[in-house]
Structure 1
Amino acid sequence: MATLLDPLGRKLEYLRVSVVDSCNLRCFYCSPGESCKPRSLRGQLSREHIVRAVTAAAKAGIKKVRLTGGEPLVRRDIVGLVHDIAQIEGIEDLSLTTNGTLLKDLAEPLAAAGLKRVNISLDSLDGHNFEQITCGGQLQATLDGIDAAFDAGLTPVKINMVVMKDLNHHEVENFAKLTLDRDIHVRFIEYMPMLGQDDVWRRHYLPSSEIMELCNGVLPMEAVPEEDLNGPARNFRFPDAVGLLGFITPVSQHFCANCNRLRLTSDGKLKPCLFSANEIDLQPALAANADLGPYYQSAAQNKPANSDVSPASQGSACGPQGMVEIGG
C-alpha cells in the first residue's frame, strides 16, 4: 500500500466520511441559524460512489475510516454501506459516529456487517435538558442505543459531550461517573464557534481546563500514556475505573501537529481539514470513473499546518457550512 504524506511529513491514514447531511435531531450548535425542521436529503453521494472513493483512499494509504453525518443511521442503506467498506482491502478499522437514537435496532446488523465500534453524541443526561439542546429529541432513545451498542460488542463505547457553560456544564460530573463501572470513554469536547453564532459561542464556551477541574472534583484523575491510544483526545481515568475520560481541545489547545485525517463530505467534497474552506470536488471524477488517487495526493499537499480556531477568532470555524453539513 502507498503512503499518504502532507508537506509537514504527517502520515494521513484516517478518512472521515460524511454519508448524509441530514439529521433527525436539531442540536443548535451543529445546525446554526436553522429552525427545528428536519432536513431533506440533498445531493448525497450514492453507496457505489462512497465505496469507490474509500477504495481509492485505501490505495492511497488510508487505513482507518469513520462514517459520520448528519446522522449516518438515517441512510436506509447504511448497513449495506458498512458491509461494502468493511470488505475494502487496506481498511483496518471502521467506526461510526451517531446520536444513538436509531441504534437500538441497528447495532446488531451493523456489527455483523463489519462495524467495529461507535461514538455516540450525547450532551445531557437530563431528559428536559436533552430535549432543549436537541430541539425535541428523546433521551431514552439514545440511552437504549448505548445499551444496544454494548450488547452488539461495539466497544469501547465512546460518548461525545460538547460542554457548554450554563447549558450542560453542570452535568460534567455525572458524565464522568459513567466511566467508573462500564467500558465507556467519555470525551468532553470544547464548544467551537460556528456560522452566525459568535455571541452565543462566547457566552457558552468553556475551556477544557475548567472541564478538567470539574472532573477532578469527582476523583483525582490519572493520565493515560499517549502511546496507549491515538486520536485528538488527551486521556485520563479515575483510579480503578473501567472507562476513560478524554478532553478534546479544538479551541484552547490545537492538536494539529498530530492530525492524520482527511474528510469527505456527503456531497463529494474532499477536505484536508475540518476548518478549511479548501476542498476538492470528487463528483465529476466519480461520474467519469476517473482515477481518484491524484485527488487524495492533492488534498494531502494542501493540508494546512494549523487551524485558526481560538478564543480570539472571529466568525465561523467551519466557513459557510454548519457542522451537520461537513461531518464534524
Structure 2
Amino acid sequence: MKVIPIQQLAPSNAPDTEVPDPASRPAPGEALVDRRGREVRDLRISVTDRCNFRCVYCMPREVFGDDYAFLPRRELLSFEEILRVARLFAERGVRKIRITGGEPLLRKDVERLIEMLARLDGVEITLTTNGVLLPRMAQRLADAGLHRVTVSLDALDDALFRRMNDADYPVEKVLEGIDAARAAGLGPIKVNMVVKRGTNDGDIEAMATHFRHSGHILRFIEFMDVGASNGWKMDEVLPSREVVARIDRLFPLEPADPNYVGEVAERWRYKDGAGEIGVISSVTQAFCSSCTRIRLSTEGQLYTCLFAQQGHDLRTLLRTGADDAQIDAVIARVWNGRDDRYSEIRTAATAAQRKIEMSYIGG
C-alpha cells in the first residue's frame, strides 16, 4: 500500500509573519472584498484530518490506509486558537461557520468548541458529518448551540454504500444518525450525495424517493477533482442537469429561488409539495463568481479555494505572540488578494495538478 505523508498532500506557503502596514488594509470591522468583488461570508473550519470512512472520492484506502500518518495532536489548532480566528472573521462579516474534517465528530470534545463558537454574535454554526456518530452525539451538539447538520450519504443500496465508504459501515448507521439529528432539532438537515458516473448514479432515483416528504433537503454533488488521490476523470462526472432530468421524469420539479446570494446549490422543488432537492455543479456550471468561502485547515492554514495548491500560515502567528490586529491584517491581505476561479478555468492540465486533499480542509 502506498502511504503519502500529509505534508506532501498539503503544501503551504511560508508563514505569513510579515504583517502589512495597517494603513494598507481595510479598517477593523470593515467587510473584506477580494479582487473579483466577492465578500467573505462563510468560514469552514476543519478540526481533524482523521476519518472513520475511506470514501473512494475523498480518502481512498490505497492512499489513506490504516497506517496513514495523520497529524499529531500538537500540530492541530486548539479550540482557543480556532475561536480567536473565528472571532476575527466574524468581525469582518462572516455569518456562517461550518465545522468539517475529516470526520469532525472524531475530534475529542468537539461540542465544547461548538459551545465556544455559538457565543459569536450573529453567526450560524453548522457541521458536516458522515452521520454514524450522531446517535450518541446529536443532542450534546444541539445543547452546545449547533444550529444544523449536513450528512453525507452516497447510496441507499447497502452493498454499494459499504463499497463506497470502504470501511464496511452500513446505510442504516447513517439513517439512524439522521433520525437522531432530527430528534435533536438540528434541522433542516441537508443530505449530500456525491454522484460518480458508473459507481452510484444508479441510486439517484432511490435517494430521491426515500427523502421526499422527509423534510430533509437532498443535494446531489458532481464528482470533483479535489486533491491528488481520488483518480478523477471527466467521464465519471454526471452533470447536474441530467440528475434533475432523471428525477423530474419521476417526480415533476420546478426551479426555486436561492435562499441567499452566493448559495452554491441550485434549488428545485417538487411540484406536489413533497419538499426540495439541490444540485451542486462545480464542474459543469461553475459558481466561482459568487463564492464567499474561506477555509481554515486542521493545523492553521488558510485556503481561499477548495482546489487550492497552497495555504497561508496562521498557526505561526497564533503561537508566536502576534496580537489580534496583526492576525487580522494577514486575514485582510489574504482575502483582498484572492483571485481564485478554478472551476471556471478547469482543464485536463489543471485537473492533473496536485491540490489540497478534501479530507484535509473539508468540502
With the length of structure 1 as denominator, give the TM-score of the two structures: 0.93
Counterpart selection for 1:298 from 323, 333, 341: 333
Contact 1:195–1:317 (Cα < 8 Å) also in 2: no
- Which of 51, 58, 61 is 1:30 aligned to? 58
**Counterpart-to-counterpart distance in 2, 1:218 and 1:66:** 33
Which one-letter code corresponds to 1:141 in the other structure? K
Aligned residue for 2:96?
64
Aligned AA (2:362): G
State the Cα deviation string for residues 128-154 of structure 1 (Å, max 9, x = none): 111100012222211110000110111
Aligned to 2:199: 167
CA 1:6/1:166 → structure 2, altered by over 3 Å: closer, same or farther?
Answer: same
Alignment-mate amino acid for residue 358 of structure 2: M
1:172 is displaced (CA, Å) by 0.5
Tell me how far 1:226 sits from its aligned partner: 2.2
Report whether the alignment pairs 1:262 with 2:294.
yes
CA-to-partner distance for each residue in 1:261-294, whole Å, 9 max, x for gaps?
1111111111111112242100111102422211
Query: Which of 221, 231, 238 is the equivalent residue of 1:189?
Result: 221
Partner residue of 2:77? 45
Which residue does the alignment assign to 1:205?
A: 237
**AA in 1 matched with 2:123:** E
Displacement after TM superposition at 1:64 (Å):
1.1
Asked if the contact 2:286–2:343 (Cα under 8 Å) also holds between the matched residues in 1, the reply is: no
Deviations 1:60-96 (A, max 9, x none): 221210011000000112100000010123x421100
C-alpha contact 1:275 1:318 (8 A) present in aligned 2: no
> Does 1:324 pair with 2:355?
no
Q: What stretches of structure 2 of length at least 5 have no aligned partner?
A: 1-28
SS of alignment partner, residue 262 of structure 1: strand
Give the direction of change, closer, same or farther, for the CA distance of 1:104–1:230 in structure 2 (3 Å limit).
farther
Deviation by residue 1:221-253 (Cα, 9 ceiling, x = unmatched):
111112568620000011233432101011111
- Report the equivalent of 1:225: 257
Distance between the aligned counterparts of 2:71 and 2:173, measured in 1? 23
Q: How far apart, CA to CA, are the structure 2 residues paired with 1:12 and 1:147?
A: 33
Deviation at 1:36, TM superposition (A): 4.1
SS of aligned partner of 1:120:
strand
Q: Which residue identity is paired with 2:40?
A: L
The CA deviation at 1:305 is 4.5
Aligned partner of 1:2 among 25, 30, 34: 30
Between the aligned partners of 1:198 and 1:69, the Cα distance in structure 2 is 17
Greater relative contact order (Cα 8 A, min sep 6): structure 1 or 2? 2
SS of the residue aligned with 2:233? Answer: helix
Match for residue 106 of structure 1? Answer: 137
CA distance in 2, matches of 1:299, 1:116: 29
Structure number with larger C-alpha Rg: 2
Match of 2:125 among 88, 94, 114: 94
Report the more deviating stretch, 170-179 or 124-133: 170-179
Q: Deviations over 1:6-26 (max 9, x none)?
A: 122212111011111110100
RMSD: 2.1
Distance in 1, matches of 2:85 and 2:91, equals 10
Once residues 119 and 347 of structure 2 are traced to their aligned partners in structure 1, the CA distance between those partners, rounded to angstroms, is 45
Equivalent position SS for 1:277: coil
Q: Which residue of 1 aligns with 2:86?
A: 54
Structure 2 CA distance, aligned partners of 1:5 and 1:309? 19
User: Percent identity, aligned pairs only?
Assistant: 35
SS, match of residue 156 in structure 2: coil
2:44 equivalent in structure 1 = 16
Task: Give the letter aligned to residue 150 of structure 2.
Answer: N
Q: Which runs of 5+ in 1 are unaligned?
A: none
Using the TM superposition, give the Cα deviation of residue 302 of structure 1 relative to its aligned residue in structure 2, in angstroms: 2.5
CA distance in 2, matches of 1:183, 1:116: 16
| CA distance 1:102–1:310, change in 2 (3 Å) | farther
**Does structure 1 conserve the Cα–Cα contact (< 8 Å) formed by 2:94 and 2:123?**
no
Letter in 1 for 2:152: S
Q: 130-139 or 40-49: which moved more?
A: 40-49
**Post-superposition offset of 1:316:** 4.2
Amino acid at match of 1:34: V
Does 2:162 match 1:134? no
Mapped to 1, the partners of 2:136 and 2:239 lie a distance apart of 36
Q: Which amino acid aligns with 1:117?
A: R
